[in-house]
Amino acid sequence: MEHDILSDVLRGIRLRGAVFYDYRFGDEWAAEAPPACEIAPTLLPGAEHVMEYHVLIRGSGWAAVAGQPAVRLAEGDAVVLPHGDRHVMSSRPGLRPQPFDVAWAYAHRRDPRPVPFDARIDGVLAGDAAGEDAPARLVCGFVCCDLHPFNPLVAQLPPLLHLPADAGSAWILAILRQALQTGAAREPGHEAMLECISELLFVHAVRHYLGRLDAGAGGWLAALHDRRIGHALALLHAQPAHAWTLDELGRRVGLSRSALHAHFVRCVGRSPMQYLTLWRMQLAASLLRGSNAPIAAIALEAGYDAEAAFTRAFKRCTGLPPAAWRRRATAALPP
């Protein structure tokens, strides 16, 4: 069985779910979200990259990213904004929303999740959105991840991932509704459930997108489907500490040294050895942040026999030697 590269990367980039809002809308509504980078310091201090998602629990609507065509949403559909772009959720295109109130969000940042959004604040244009029988209900949340030292996934994703309710995601919607019920009753563990659901939703949306990529599409995600390059990536991820050479990797995947290099660069955007170095640095960063292991031991785990060689490679990649990077990473507030 081939190594699960996507799971490797998702673990390595520290995917975490966070902050949730529960919108109740009338018949006519529109809500705008600013770029995630503008609200992340308020809502998620310490998060390196923030992505937003929305699940339409009831009703229908539209999702529109600035500069992109609006996407029609049916009940149960979800959208994920991988790059945290400014966007508008609305009952129909063209409605002018009120801006997101960052001050209100900050004031309620420690409220129990999900935080109900007041219709007078969240951009509702008309209609009484109060109560369980509101015509529209939208659950919104955030997913955080690391971009550095190496995240090959996020840059490969489009501005908006649309996950239709019929895309094998009914189980997520069922779990989300159950979590919302336990949240309304303030049952123990409901916030942890919501956080886990956020991560599941993001992973499922990425898998849905990956499964529909054209065979000729370029980039790291498409390379996972390539018979030879996907195999090469699987080998590098399965044994990152191995002393790989282009010759050996080429023999294992059935390509010459030059053909492997050219095809890998064309698909992934960098050479196999460059990719391996970056992935080793990502693994080392996870060990530096999550353990007290000596630098020399982490160097061995990352495929370096000499600590000095590892330190040079890590500093070239991150701008800091491993010990200094560890101090900075562990001193930062967790998202």
- Same domain for 196 and 239, yes or no, is no
Same domain, 305 and 324: yes
Residue 39 pLDDT > 90: no
| Pairing outcome for strands 49-58 and 28-33 | unpaired
Tokens of 27: 């018949």
Same domain? For 292 and 169 the reply is no
Contact between residue 86 and residue 66 where contact means Cβ atoms under 8 Å apart: yes
The pLDDT tens digits for 159-197 are: 999 999 988 778 888 888 887 777 666 778 778 888 888
Q: What angle do CA 147, 152, 158 make, to 5 degrees?
A: 90
Task: Confirm if 61 and 138 have CB atoms less than 8 A apart.
Answer: yes
Do residues 202 and 293 both lie within one domain? no
Contact call for residues 300 and 290 (beta carbons, < 8 A): no
Element housing 105 (H / E): helix 102-107
Domain that holds residue 293: 222-331
Residue 54 domain-assigned?
Answer: yes
**Domain finish residue from 211, 230, 259:** 211
Question: Do residue 47 and residue 191 come from a single domain?
Answer: yes
Q: List, for residues 257-290, the tens digit of each pLDDT value.
A: 999 999 999 999 999 999 999 999 999 999 999 8
Q: How crowded is residue 277: how many other Cβ atoms within 10 Å of its Cβ?
A: 21
Res 319 pLDDT > 80: yes
- Claim to verify: residue 166 and residue 229 sit in the same structural domain: no
Number of structural domains (the chain) is 2
* Same-domain status, 149 and 253: no
Q: What pLDDT is attached to residue 124?
A: 43
Q: Which of 153, 185, 211 is the last residue of a domain?
A: 211
